[in-house]
Amino acid sequence: MTMFSFRVDEEEAAATQCWVERLGVDRSHLLREALHRHLVRLRAEDDIKAWTANPPTDEEQALAEISDWGPAEDWSDWADAAG
């Protein structure tokens, strides 16, 4: 693991401490989780830009309609057929 060190204003430090106490986690855990979630959101925004810039081709979309079909048949009543 790599150590990060940064400064925050007093108001954000106080709010962080309140959430740490409220959630019953340590400050490092709260900040790691916040950073992780923010990075996931940024990656998702990049994915959206890439998807918009290069939409799927007709060939790539060929199976999209099949996913809307749902299960072909309900075989749950055959569960006892084996004996």
Residue pLDDT, tens place only, 31-83: 999 999 999 999 999 999 999 999 989 988 888 777 666 667 777 777 776 65
Helical spans, DSSP H, in 1-83: 10-23, 27-53, 64-67
At residue 30, the pLDDT reads 97
At residue 17, the pLDDT reads 97
Residues 27, 15: contact at Cβ < 8 Å?
Answer: no
At residue 73, the pLDDT reads 74
Residue pLDDT, tens place only, 61-74: 888 777 666 667 77
